[in-house]
Chain A
Amino acid sequence: MTSTEKRLASGGYLDRSQVLKFMCDGRQYTGFKGDTLASALLASGVSLVGRSFKYHRPRGILSAGAEEPNALVTVGTGARREPNLPATMLELTSGLEAASQNNWPSLRFDVQSINSLFSPLLSSGFYYKTFMGPSRRAWMFYEHFIRKAAGLGKATMMPDPDVYDSRDDFTDVAVVGSGAAGLSAARAAAQAGARVLLIEQDFEIGGRLLSEPGGATWLHTMRTELEEMANVRIMRRTTAFGLYDGNTLALIEDADPFAGLVMNAARKTCTLLHARSIVFATGAIERPMVFPNNDRPGVMLNSAIRAYVNRYSVLPGRNVVIATADDSAYLTAFDLLAHGARVVIADARPLAEPTLLAKAKQMGAEVHLATNVTDVKGKYAVTGVVLAGKTGTIGVSCDLVGMSAGWSPVVHLTSHQGVKPVYRADIDAFVPGQLPETQFVAGAAGGSLSVSEAIAEGVSAGRAAAAVAGKVERVAEAPVLEIEETAGPTTVYKPIFGQRKAFVDFQMDVTLDDIQLAQREGYESVEHLKRYTTLGMGTDQGKTSNINALKVMAKLRGISIPEAGTTTFRPPYTPVAIGAVAGRATGHHFRPYRLTPIHDWHTANGAQMLEVGLWMRPWFFEASGRDVNTAYVNEMRLVRSTAGIMDISTLGKIDIQGPDAAAFLDRVYANGFASIKVGRARYGVMLRDDGIVFDDGTTTRLEQNRFFMTTSTAKAADVLSWLEFLLDTAWPDLRVSVSSVSDEWAGMSVAGPESGKILSAAFPDIDFSNEALPHMGLAGGTFNDSPLKIIRLSYSGERAYEIYVGASNGEAAWRHLIDVGAAYGLKPYGVEALGALRIEKGHVAGPEIDGRTTLSDLRMGRMVAKRSGYVGEALSHREAFQAANRQRLVGLKCIDPGKRLRGGALLFAPGEPLQGHGRGRMTSITYSPELDCYIGLGLLAADFKGDEVIASYPMKNEVVRARVVSPVFLDPAGERMHG
């Protein structure tokens, strides 16, 4: 396609030795290293690159930067398909595969562009009016079709095969943007002695200077100098997308596609940059003009044309109409003229800078003042425009239209922390408001549009930012850059009303008409306007449209632009791959789980593991049965008839020492601990300050001033923090220290009638007789020269021992017990059986201690009957906790033969309608081999009359009868564990 070749013979920031082949919509093209996809397509004569969101209108390339609303493409295939990427930001690489969007069956012939014919239907508020009326049935019906027709690219449904990184970084001074202001700021801050991080979203340093034909030498000097400074780091392909508390910038960095293949290297990296001070040198974005068909392929921003001509060495048109309300467009005209293009300038202003006018005329441009574009001809590519001026209307044929309606400083980051931008009428733009003392603005971002101002402001901002970090060494003047430049706009550009198909937001297809309609219907505030018309809600977040829209609304309402105000700026500035935020914390790494010291034995011996809270624990052992339901019942039988061994290393373990340790525990636990004797253990319950049960466990008095506390697995961290809180903030007078020893001790429990014999055989030096080691007693010893603690405690209701040994000897002790115990029938059991055994015994656990129950709800009120001075005491006496219908712990036994109970079932009285929340709920259930039926624990209103409930489980439509019984199903006298 040489006839459409638009590449200039020389110039630009391209490496013409590297020819890159790429595909777009199935056709092969070539470009150079240094191209974006947009510039390479333009160079190849491609101007039509997509269809619009709502009306499926043909669209081309509007801009040359992150603000691009039109030229969005899908890149990659399969699992790497990524939609909605602006072609203007896509660095061209060899083998890139891009596809246009919203074009079925093809870009040129799009069936759904018929939406355009119905466009009056799709005006603002269309969805609300049509589908959100009294009945939502219409919406239910149409949603599928509408979602299919209106939309952008489609993301892949496959898992992301790429690797991402997420990290923290630190610097004295962060400089965002590497244009004239940013480079000057970075250099000044670095010379002052600060560590500097310069952040540039593009793959090339230089910002708008890359579009300045006279800027190359200065740029090269500055860049070389910065690259040689040891205290300066430069991050290219990196967008600062959010500003957070404490001068934290969130950065997203794309890997250098030319760096070659590195194993496991991140495709994108998300960085939280903690900076002492920040210089925002983020530049400004040019605003489009609003005229009919301003969205046609071939209508571009003047600054974009300039970037394509000078940076990318592409002449996008030979016959150009430059529409403007701003002097800077003349520079675009001069560059086009210098490359032999024919240029007609339509300046909306009645007057223009005489030197610019003179030069334009001298270079051969035709200039019309007080003239506006009133229509654009051509559907897939511009063929001409209609100009209306003082002398009437003329048609001008052309292949490219440029437009400038002033500049919008990129204030996004400066506003993320709530600093509202302020309007400056002299440049018709919003600039950053009053920033904190550690943040600075330089150059166009602050409204200073000329290069000389940008350099001067950059130097002083860089110096001030370094001073924040205490770095005040002498700063040399920046090199002088002499180029042709213009001041900002001299008048405020106002769109002319009554124009059809004059687009304000290109990506969301919002026209001037739509804004007028929204205003007529009362959606006047800019925030309402945004939501009613979807203006600014596209992937470009309205970078080119928001200011034009609010100016239109201000005019319609007859208020000033500052009164209309801006919508709220929120992160991210540009779309961010969610994978980069996650970094490597995906899959198993999303939340690491913990392994006990005996884990390897479990997996090697047929344990089915289960993630329980933070831990992996054996669920059941395959030797006990093929599936969990068979296995746990067999494991229950094992414990009740012979003995089982269970890994309890996951329990929280806290070492409590000090002269006041007993007094401390006496306050912390609701039940008394002051009287506990050395060598004895006690079950204890802790309350929260609000009187609700917090956690339970056992604590053993090892010595006069030393206790060994165990907590539930789930609450281990919370209990430790709570004890530390009480000691640090409430009772600093108590001489107590607490320390977690959870990881220091492996724990295992041997439970069952044979457990005493097994332990005697395993540890022959220790006396396991009832006299020497009664229930709740402690015995010490050693195993492999490591201290051993054996506490006779029972959770299952059987005679049982908890054995604690140094973690590194955990597996050896476990193997020893298994070896010795085998002769007695000892086998391991898992958490499913453990949970079932405690239900038979009526012991409460997490499902009952659910953050809503009190001691008396759990039938443990007697524990504190004669006590005072414990945490949670006062509020546990409050009236609400004494209510007659308070739900209290009960046992429930299934009495429908062949049926089962379910945890979470709601409890009703027989005959009562099964509606609402019922009179209580089932908290824990199990099959009981001892009773040969399903049993459960539940919470049931204390004023419930009768001994039978209906348990309703609506999720499965099950209704079962159950008898209300004592929660202790087995051995209420406790003979088994004492025996």
Chain B
Amino acid sequence: MLRIDCPCCGVRDHSEFRYGGDATVERPAHDNPDLDAWYRYVYLRANPKGLHREYWQHVLGCRQWLVVERDTVTHSIHSVSFSRRQRA
């Protein structure tokens, strides 16, 4: 029952979104052949208690991938931003 304030579309129900996992892990460069770097990126997760940054895609709206800061204890959402803008 989360309500996510999409920076493009406004406040929408979480059922319009698709969860995309941990946004804090750094993806290795596409041509990085290091097995260990990719192992850490794909499999190792911190599972923090409290604020957590995670990816959500507004699939039934603007289709943007967003970075949502959510409290894993209270499920309250502290910030929502475009992933692309953060990264570029």
The interface of chain A, by Cβ under 8 A from chain B, is 168, 244-246, 248, 272, 274, 436, 667, 689-690, 717, 721, 724-725, 727-733, 868-871, 873-875, 877-878
A729 to B26, CA, bound (A): 10
Q: Please, which residues of chain A bring their CB within 8 A of the CB of B23?
A: 729
Write out, one digit per residue, whether chain B residues 11-48 have a CB within 8 A of any chain A CB (1) or not (0): 00100001010010001101111110111011000000
Are A875 and B35 touching (Cβ within 8 A)?
Answer: yes
Q: Is the CB of B34 within 8 A of A874?
A: yes
Residue among B1, B2, B32 making CB contact with A874, cutoff 8 Å: B32
Q: A274-B3, A874-B32, A874-B34 are known contacts. Are A725 and B84 too (CB-CB below 8 A)?
A: no
- The listed residue (A248, A667, A732) touching B87 by CB distance below 8 A is A732
**A717 vs B42: C-alpha distance when bound (angstroms):** 21
Contact B57 A874 (CB under 8 A): no
Contact B27 A732 (CB under 8 A): no
* Complex CA–CA separation, A877 to B35 (angstroms): 8
A871, B38: Cβ atoms closer than 8 Å: no
Given contacts A246-B75, A869-B30, contact A728 B35 (CB under 8 A): no
Q: Which of B13, B32, B35, B57 contacts A168 (CB 8 A)?
A: B13
Residues of the A chain whose Cβ atoms lie less than 8 Å from the Cβ of B41: 689
Q: Which residues of chain B are within 8 angstroms of A871 by Cβ–Cβ distance?
A: 30
Q: Could you give 26 example pairs across A and B, Cβ below 8 Å? A: A168-B13, A246-B1, A246-B2, A272-B1, A274-B1, A667-B30, A689-B38, A717-B59, A725-B55, A725-B57, A728-B83, A728-B87, A729-B20, A729-B83, A729-B84, A730-B27, A732-B87, A733-B88, A868-B31, A869-B31, A873-B33, A874-B34, A875-B39, A875-B42, A877-B35, A878-B35
> Judging by beta carbons under 8 Å apart, are A874 and B33 in contact?
yes
Query: Which chain B residues lie closer than 8 Å to A248 at the CB level?
Result: 1
Q: Are A244 and B33 within 8 A (Cβ)?
A: no
User: In the complex, what residues of A have CB within 8 A of residue B64's CB?
Assistant: 728
A contacts with B: majority SS: mixed
Cα-based distance from A667 to B27 in the complex (angstroms): 14
Most interface-central of A246, A272, A870, A875 (chain B CB within 10 A): A246
Which chain B residues border A730 with CB–CB below 8 Å?
27, 30, 87
- Chain B residues whose CB sits within 8 angstroms of the CB of A690 once the complex forms: 42
Interface set, chain B 56-73, CB cutoff 8 A to A: 57, 59, 63-65
B84 touching A732, Cβ below 8 Å: yes
Please report the C-alpha to C-alpha distance between residue A248 and residue B3 in the assembled complex, in whole angstroms. Answer: 10
Which residues on the A side are within 8 Å of B83 (C-beta)?
728-729
- Count of interface residues, chain B, beta-carbon cutoff 8 Å: 34
Docked-complex contact B63 and A724, CB < 8 angstroms = yes
- Choose among A274, A436, A724, A729 the residue with the greatest number of B CB atoms under 10 Å from its CB: A729
Chain A residue at smallest Cβ distance from B33: A874
> Are B38 and A245 in contact, CB atoms less than 8 angstroms apart?
no
A244 touches B65 (CB 8 A): no
Q: Which residues of B contact A274 (CB under 8 A)?
A: 1, 3
Min Cβ gap B21→A in Å is 10
Q: Which of chain A's residues has its CB closest to B39's CB?
A: A875
Closest 5 interchain pairs by CB?
A728-B65, A248-B1, A869-B31, A874-B38, A245-B75
Are A436 and B74 closer than 8 Å at their CB atoms? yes
Q: When the two chains form their complex, are residues B55 and A874 in contact, meaning their CB atoms are under 8 A apart?
A: no
Chain B nearest CB, measured from A665 CB (Å): 12
CB distance from B54 to the nearest CB of A (A): 11
Whether B33 pairs with A721 at a CB distance below 8 angstroms is no
How many pairs of residues, A versus B, come closer than 8 Å at their CB atoms?
Answer: 75
Contacting residues, chain B, for A874 (C-beta < 8 A): 28, 32-35, 37-38
Q: Which of A436, A869, A875 contacts B38 (CB 8 A)?
A: A875
- Least CB distance from B52 to A in Å reads 15
How far apart are the CA atoms of A717 and B59 in the complex, in Å?
A: 9
On whether the beta carbons of B1 and A721 are closer than 8 Å, the reply is: no
How far, in angstroms, from A729 to B59 measured CA to CA in the complex?
15
User: Within 8 Å CB of A732, what residues of B?
Assistant: 84, 87-88
Q: How far apart are B24's CB and chain A's nearest CB, in angstroms? A: 12
Q: Please determine whether B75 and A728 come into contact, CB atoms closer than 8 angstroms.
A: no
Task: Indicate which residue in B2, B39, B57 contacts A245 across the interface (CB closer than 8 Å).
Answer: B2
CB distance from A633 to the nearest CB of B (A): 41
Please indicate the chain B residues that have their CB under 8 angstroms from the CB of A877 in the complex.
Answer: 35
The distance in angstroms between the C-alpha atoms of A878 and B37, with both chains bound, is 12
| Cα A873 to Cα B28 with chains together (Å) | 12
Residue of B with least CB distance to A243:
B1
Q: Are B31 and A729 in contact (CB under 8 A)?
A: no
Assuming the A-B contacts A731-B30, A874-B34, A874-B35, are A721 and B13 also in contact, with contact meaning beta carbons closer than 8 angstroms in the complex? no
In angstroms, Cα B82 to Cα A822, docked, is 54
A168: chain B residues within 8 A (beta carbon): 13
Q: Is the CB of A246 within 8 A of B30?
A: no
Which residues of the partner chain B approach A873 to less than 8 Å between Cβ atoms?
Answer: 33
- Name A725's contact: one of B20, B28, B32, B38 (CB within 8 Å): B20
Cα(A574)–Cα(B87), bound, Å: 48
- B30 neighbours in A (Cβ, 8 Å): 667, 730-731, 869-871
Least distance between B8 CB and chain A CB atoms (Å): 12
A171 to B82, CA, bound (A): 28
Q: Which residues of A contact B31 (CB under 8 A)?
A: 868-869
Q: Which residues of the partner chain B approach A667 to less than 8 Å between Cβ atoms?
A: 30
Chain B residues with CB under 8 Å of A721's CB are 18, 57, 59
Q: In the bound complex, what is the Cα–Cα distance between A728 and B81 (angstroms)?
A: 12
Chain A residues with Cβ below 8 Å from B34 are 874
Contact A724 B33 (CB under 8 A): no
On chain B, the residues within 8 Å of A246 by CB distance are 1-3, 75-76
Per the bound structure, the CA–CA distance linking A698 and B30 in Å amounts to: 22
Query: In the assembled complex, which residues on chain A have CB atoms less than 8 Å from the CB atom of B87?
Result: 728-730, 732
CB distance from A662 to the nearest CB of B (A): 14
Q: A690 CA to B3 CA in the complex, in Å?
A: 31
Chain A residues with CB below 8 A from B63, complex form? 724
User: Which residue of B is nearest A740, CB measured?
Assistant: B63
Q: Contact check, B2 vs A724: say whether CB atoms are below 8 A apart.
A: no
How distant is the Cα of A877 from the Cα of B64 in the complex, in angstroms?
32
Residues in B with CB closer than 8 Å to A869 are 30-31
For B84, the chain A residues whose CB sits under 8 A away are 727-729, 732
Residues A729 and B55 in contact in the complex (CB < 8 Å), given A168-B13, A875-B42: yes
**Distance between Cα atoms of A871 and B42 in the complex (Å):** 12
For residue A878, which residues in chain B have a CB less than 8 angstroms away from its CB?
35, 39
Other than the known A721-B57, A874-B34, what 4 A-B pairs have Cβ atoms closer than 8 Å? A725-B57, A728-B65, A730-B27, A874-B33
Q: How far is the CA of A874 from the CA of B41 in the complex (A)?
A: 11
Which residue of chain A has its CB nearest to the CB of B63? A724
Q: How far is the CA of A274 from the CA of B3 in the complex (A)?
A: 9
Contacts of B39 in A (CB 8 A): 875, 878
Chain A residues with Cβ under 8 A from B76's Cβ? 246
How far does the Cβ of A594 sit from chain B's closest Cβ, in whole Å?
Answer: 15
A881 vs chain B, min Cβ distance (A): 11
A854 to chain B, nearest CB (A): 14
A363 to chain B, nearest CB (A): 52
Please, how many angstroms separate the alpha-carbon atoms of A64 and B37 in the complex? 65
